[in-house]
Structure formats: structure tokens, C-alpha cells
Amino acid sequence: MVFHLNTKNQTDDSMITKQSRVVILTGAGISAESGIRTFRDSDGLWENHRIEEVATPEGWRANPELVWNFYQQRRRQLLNVEPNQGHLALEELENHLENFLLVTQNVDDLHERAGSKNLIHMHGELAKLRCEDCQLVETLMEDQHLLDAFLYCRQCDGRLRPHIVWFNEMPMQMPEIEKALSECDVFVAIGTSGHVYPAANFLHIARNHGAYTIGINLEPPENVHFFDEFIQGKAAEILPYLVQKWIHD
């Protein structure tokens, strides 16, 4: 189903031109059709765990084995999933535009595997690990890096932790994101529930600076009424169609 809310200025075919400055925010919904579960499923649990258990510094301190095993499972899962038509459509859009930034809350690597280049992982990356002591960050995805045993830093021997932004930690590259939001002409949020800040506030920053705002989601998100336009449906079905329309019209 496709419908529009707040249609004061409904998208016309030339809404996005080659010169438009476009910022896209993606969330778990864009990877759903690649087989990665979203966070806020009806049971309120993330792969059978409470978020506080596996996605907070306190959870890591209380039970590092559990948290490590949890992320090792998520890291191994990356080997079995592929980008979908939604990821691929965003790569095509990027190729068409001169000024494009993709900000993702997702920690999977499906955007980069689809070919996206100007990409910020604001909540970190599963493929990377970080030393708790010297903060060295490395991509470690060989077989020997995906086992259940803890790994240690090759530089200082400190214990490695997931390179993930947990609740109560600072998202990455915020100044760069905020600058792009304040300068963009069009902001599009895709597959995100609008529950988690600061990402949920990007819509308001872009809007307050005059951007046209579009939401694409399976269900109306928390902040749906603030979008100029909302399109309801699956990202992998809607995006190929929309991107073709934006590029060719």
C-alpha cells in the first residue's frame, strides 16, 4: 500500500535532481528482507535478549561472555546474508547525485556490499572490533575471528569489544551528520521506527533547515506526522521504483 500524509507539497517527479543535496537515514527495516531481524519486533526482545543485556556498557561489564557471544553470532550471520534491492537502489541513487550522504543505524555491512560509498555507520559496525585499552579499530572477519573465545589486541594485548555504539554511548561522526542535515534539500528516512535518539531527531533538524522530508516504512513510525510525505511498504519493493522515478523523470 502506498499513501501520503501531510501532502502540502507532494513529491513531484523532479523532487530530486542531480544537483539536490540528499541525506538518507536507514534503519533495520532496510535489511529485513535480507533476513536480518529488526530490533523492535512484537516481543520487545532482540534475538531473545533484553536490549539492556546485550546493548549497553553495563551489560558488557556484567556479563562480557554473553555479550561477546551475542555479537559473534551476529557477525557470523553477515556471512550468510546478501544486500537486497533496497540497498542496491540506494547505490544507484548515489551514483546519480553529486551531493549524497547515507547515514545508517545498521551495524551490518550490506550498504557497503551493495556499493554505497559516502556512508556513515553512526551505531558502529559488526565487522570491526575495538581494543578496550588502546582503542585500535580493525576489521576482523576471518574464520579465526568469529569463534566464541575472546580476542585480544595485536598492539597492546587488551581485550577486544564489538565496535558497536551501545545505549549511553555517543553515536559516531555526529558533527558531520548534523552539518549534512542542516544543508540538505531532501531528507529520506527508511526502515526506522523513530524510537532511538539522536537518529529520530534527524527529521526535525533537516525540516527546520527547510529540507523536504520523506519517510518510507512498513508501519507508520513514531514521528510519521512530521514527514512531508510518507510511503508505507517494504523498502526493497518501494526503493527500486522510487529511485528509477527520481533518476529518470
* Contact pick of 15, 22, 23, 32 for ligand OAD (by CB under 6 A): 32
Q: How, if at all, do strands 212-217 and 229-232 pair?
A: parallel
CB of 237 to ligand OAD, least distance (A): 8
Residues 81-110 binding ligand OAD (CB under 6 A) are 105
219 binds ligand OAD (CB under 6 A): yes
* Contact pick of 81, 146, 218, 247 for ligand OAD (by CB under 6 A): 218
* Contact pick of 38, 56, 99, 182 for ligand OAD (by CB under 6 A): 38
CB of 223 to ligand OAD, least distance (A): 11
- Stretch near ligand OAD under the rule CB under 6 A, chosen from 33-41, 73-81, 109-117, 129-137: 33-41
- DSSP annotation string for 79-101: GG----HHHHHHHHHHHH-SEEE
Cβ nearer to ligand OAD, comparing 165 with 214: 165
Contact by Cβ (8 Å): 211, 186: yes
CB of 25 to ligand OAD, least distance (A): 9
H/E stretch holding 12 reads: none
Cα 121–chain centre separation:
7
Nearest C-alpha neighbor of 121 from the set 55, 67, 47, 176: 176
* Contact pick of 75, 87, 121, 123 for ligand OAD (by CB under 6 A): 123
Size of the site for ligand OAD (CB under 6 A): 24
Cα 200–chain centre separation:
12
172 binds ligand OAD (CB under 6 A): no
Cβ nearer to ligand OAD, comparing 110 with 235: 235
Active site residues: 123
235 binds ligand OAD (CB under 6 A): yes
Q: The cell 513514531 sits on which residue?
A: 222
130 binds ligand OAD (CB under 6 A): no
Backbone angles phi, psi at 230, to 5 degrees: -130, 130
Cα 152–chain centre separation:
28
Give the cell for residue 216.
Answer: 518510507
